[in-house]
Structure 1
């Protein structure tokens, strides 16, 4: 039995002992400190200061990116139409690649030494083919040769660019109104398999002289050791892994990590969870909740699957296990049952991975991931000179996700602390509001009254929390609340996804439809009628004549076994709406490219609640 983290607002919230001392300052809330507001934002944002952003025609710098998130129009590549978000975000972080951060744009300056680089003329020239070839040489040195270009990696240059990154974040920070974070992306891709992490700092008071890049080490354990060194020097920081679907099974290793650590070892699990409380579940390169191969009985499990590695080919990854979150969550529960510490006890966020400053999260306002996609015909066909395999990957990009954070205020400290508590949820883009609480002291009336949220904190745990030892075998009760985005689509249903491992070591998952719109009910076989579909594909329109604006429910696990550890999270589905590619096809007056869905059911996923006997 693990020792308890006993705080007034987190009853039955358990953590391994070695983690408790590290995380208590970030997780503890005062008795009367109850988050009542959700704040939406993105942490995974690249600009032309990222080598791949620049090569792919990004025109936005960090200053442009922050202005876009605040609601200002910014220019795009090759278009007279500015890009502008429909409604401003609450917080934002520009996290360009640490490797060669800000260097390629400097090649345009003849007075800067990097303009003399042998590849500079090709990189800054007007020939896309030559620029891509130069780009490939840089990537090869990073991912294959594991070596750093001495001119592009000049330390003085690194320090200067990093200071400019910090200054940009500070300039746009408006506590209480708009929050920014200093951060970067650590871009490890062994054999083009994605192990990327975004690294975020709580404040800008004590920061390292330079960020840590894949050229320092491509091994996650080395990144975590570097993060520990920063803590010893006064920094507070976290890392967020992403794109497990593109890792070919490396993101959530089954037995041994890419760094050689045994997944079941206490040191590995503690280091991973101390440094990485959250996982980026959905972004432009698809959703990595689950895959139909892993969850064949999940009728909604094939949502926005981007089934590629980071290579320039369209070859799907061979290993689904180790690449998707749900499977890793359940495997982590199995490790708990064996007496190990769970290395995959993640909360969820959605994010962008835009490479042109603007995290374009709205299907009807999508302007692409890269600068070369700003024109709709290039999003559907690929830019001139791009082969069909690359064009296919571009067409299958999602519009990107967004993170919802239940925090005490719109400040760096409050949002960072909420992320450490895992009081977060992911969406595929819409800003619907979702809450999940679990506990043994709830009943059918626990969501009634004006102060039910305050009572929920006192009598259970919020999403991201852990329940321990069911009293007298009593099943846990969950409170789930969901509200549509004000200008968005109605809701179809709320589901609870449960995962566990049985006595024979076999993993299991079960999906429960716990709240349905339009007064629908399952039939005698448990089948739920579809919500319907109002989408006019030719016009790329829909109506809210079906579905509900909000759904709330109290649900008790009917199959609870108090002896078995389990993990639970909520998934909220919207009614069908047009995909971005449907909007583009309608705007161009042409058919949707073959293989793309005409409609999607956008959704939200809460951070889980774990039960550990």
Structure 2
């Protein structure tokens, strides 16, 4: 048994795994051919399809995955995403997704990759280390203390020499690449090679997943926090990889656990952000993970008090191994960063926060648990509704509460011409992506100064929208005289999922005095509802029966669409616009768990939630004068 208290420490989000890794390319310069380039003609749709998947996935090959009871490996992760059942750990229930995904990427932590997994193998030299005997001890206090010592050193960026094995890391990294290639089926199911760089200074999250477009010229080793805890140095590693022929991007995640560090207005050396810094950041990390198991970081009620939906699935903790609340909201939430980015751009420093969005998981048991009624937790030990809801025996309740406040996993939606590595990666780079809280609702978002009022009445409206405007992730500039931007939005519910409540457009801008502003517009409502004079909309209602963990689609619409013109547009002001789509209320995973256990839903958790989707923004930049 792998120590329950250790499980708690990591379950808190303290997934800080670290290992010294080289920046060199393979001796062979990865001359092996990318196995994704099979002689298969994959049809392309120039109007694009939405493909759903996750790129933030861990298994027992990650340090915290192993320590917290994961019994799966990378091969299991891909089999799960394709619809197969895999071992679950915990209470022994197999893990199986109801509807397979389109693409998936295992992104093990670069730090100590595979080392702790080897400790359970009696034939491995790692099992002979004193630390291994303590980590795998049946004495929970001993095991917990051993982990705490390793964690403390890791958070300081100090590697344990006995655990640093670049040969093992290199071997496992190459094995991960091969496993992904084995499962890659162009046009059917796409895999990517990826790893996670796990920087957490003072337990503040700066993690990034680094993802490769293909397997040509991939560096010999992933980049570790032991190489550097600074994002700027990770970007240098990525630039060097490009010079050597690799194609890659990074995705930072869950800034809500960064205590204001993710979107600071200074660099890692506390120097003002420059245009060069902004360009480097955006060149290397075009996307941001807006939601995952450790909560949603779109907005916070303290920062957006006029947004009635800003409090969605807020996980208000740092990555500390003890219960610690962040002190800083600003710098932790994306909408505020979007506004700060406009301010920096107006000053000539570029926009370092011009992110497209994805939703993701951060599971450590291979299965991303995106389905609310099929939730299996973050770690192997949580594959048991009693542990998820009532707590792990012997653990302090404040720590168990953090587990209960975990969200189900989010999803990344990508609008691409085909389900291939090339097409999906290109779409990620151009930010034609959207995020959901786990549901597979689809959202399209276009902007232009030239759309006609009849655009969406045409059967070929998507084609016309591309031809005369830009999709999500794009830029509008040089506004014509006396014209306001026109936005086309279309949302479709998930098949066999919940109906839609509304479509909103969130606008942010910098006013004439240099202050940032935001406003939320309800542009499409279900059930014939209309907004009042202030633009507010009545609630859609709630059909959730918490005692039965059920809901009905007697309210809401199956699809919503709208053509909307900004009524307060000023061509002289920097602005951004993004879409938020809300579903009708449905039971939260904790409500489904309560039903499984035959108990009343907990009063300290919401019984229902409104799942949602977010588009990447469209930005407007005024013509320089």
Whole-angstrom CA distance in 2 between matches of 1:525 and 1:35: 37
Work out whether 1:97 is the aligned partner of 2:109.
yes
Residues 443-454 of structure 1 aligned to structure 2 (within 5 Å): 443-454=452-463
Match of 1:356 in 2: 365
Paired residues of 1:491 and 1:549 also in contact (CA < 8 A): yes
Match of 1:188 in 2: 199
Work out whether 1:275 is the aligned partner of 2:267.
no
Paired residues of 1:129 and 1:385 also in contact (CA < 8 A): no
Which one is further off, 125-134 or 155-164? 125-134
Paired residues of 1:250 and 1:257 also in contact (CA < 8 A): no
Work out whether 1:532 is the aligned partner of 2:541.
yes
Change (3 A) 1:564 1:161: same
Number of matched pairs:
579
- CA apart distance, 1:525: 4.0
* Matched position secondary structure for 2:321: coil
Unaligned runs of 5+ in 2: 1-43
Match of 1:165 in 2: 176
Work out whether 1:296 is the aligned partner of 2:305.
yes
Work out whether 1:232 is the aligned partner of 2:243.
yes
Match of 1:430 in 2: 439
Whole-angstrom CA distance in 1 between matches of 2:268 and 2:347: 23
Work out whether 1:401 is the aligned partner of 2:420.
no
- CA apart distance, 1:33: 6.8
Whole-angstrom CA distance in 2 between matches of 1:276 and 1:605: 18
Residues 470-489 of structure 1 aligned to structure 2 (within 5 Å): 470-489=479-498
Paired residues of 1:34 and 1:457 also in contact (CA < 8 A): no
- CA apart distance, 1:259: 4.1
Change (3 A) 1:168 1:131: farther
Whole-angstrom CA distance in 2 between matches of 1:366 and 1:214: 31
Paired residues of 1:261 and 1:268 also in contact (CA < 8 A): no
Paired residues of 2:295 and 2:313 also in contact (CA < 8 A): yes
Q: For each residue in 1:130-161, what CA deviation from the matched residue of structure 2 results, as whole angstroms up to 9, or x when unmatched?
A: 333222222212112x2212222112111111
The equivalent position to 1:75 in structure 2, one of 67, 87, 94, is: 87
- CA apart distance, 1:45: 0.4
Paired residues of 2:522 and 2:535 also in contact (CA < 8 A): no
Q: For each residue in 1:188-247, what CA deviation from the matched residue of structure 2 results, as whole angstroms up to 9, or x when unmatched?
A: 000000000000000012111100011111000000000000000000000000010000
Q: For each residue in 1:301-351, what CA deviation from the matched residue of structure 2 results, as whole angstroms up to 9, or x when unmatched?
A: 000000000012333210000000000001111112222211100000000
Whole-angstrom CA distance in 2 between matches of 1:313 and 1:443: 56
Query: TM-score, normalised on structure 2?
Result: 0.91
Match of 1:257 in 2: 267
Paired residues of 2:522 and 2:536 also in contact (CA < 8 A): no
Match of 2:212 in 1: 201
Query: TM-score, normalised on structure 1?
Result: 0.93
Whole-angstrom CA distance in 2 between matches of 1:80 and 1:110: 24
* Matched position secondary structure for 2:130: coil
Which one is further off, 320-329 or 335-344? 335-344
The equivalent position to 2:132 in structure 1, one of 104, 110, 120, is: 120
- CA apart distance, 1:449: 2.3
- CA apart distance, 1:387: 1.3
- CA apart distance, 1:111: 2.3
Paired residues of 1:573 and 1:604 also in contact (CA < 8 A): yes
* Matched position secondary structure for 1:500: strand
Whole-angstrom CA distance in 1 between matches of 2:504 and 2:139: 50
Whole-angstrom CA distance in 2 between matches of 1:527 and 1:332: 28
Whole-angstrom CA distance in 1 between matches of 2:92 and 2:243: 49
Whole-angstrom CA distance in 1 between matches of 2:206 and 2:330: 15
Q: For each residue in 1:249-302, what CA deviation from the matched residue of structure 2 results, as whole angstroms up to 9, or x when unmatched?
A: 000012x12344422x01110110000000000000000001000000000000
Q: For each residue in 1:385-415, what CA deviation from the matched residue of structure 2 results, as whole angstroms up to 9, or x when unmatched?
A: 2211210110000001000000111111110
Residues 56-75 of structure 1 aligned to structure 2 (within 5 Å): 56-75=68-87
RMSD: 1.2
- CA apart distance, 1:116: 1.8
Match of 2:143 in 1: 131
Whole-angstrom CA distance in 2 between matches of 1:127 and 1:402: 38
Whole-angstrom CA distance in 2 between matches of 1:211 and 1:259: 24
The equivalent position to 1:519 in structure 2, one of 524, 528, 533, is: 528
Match of 1:5 in 2: none
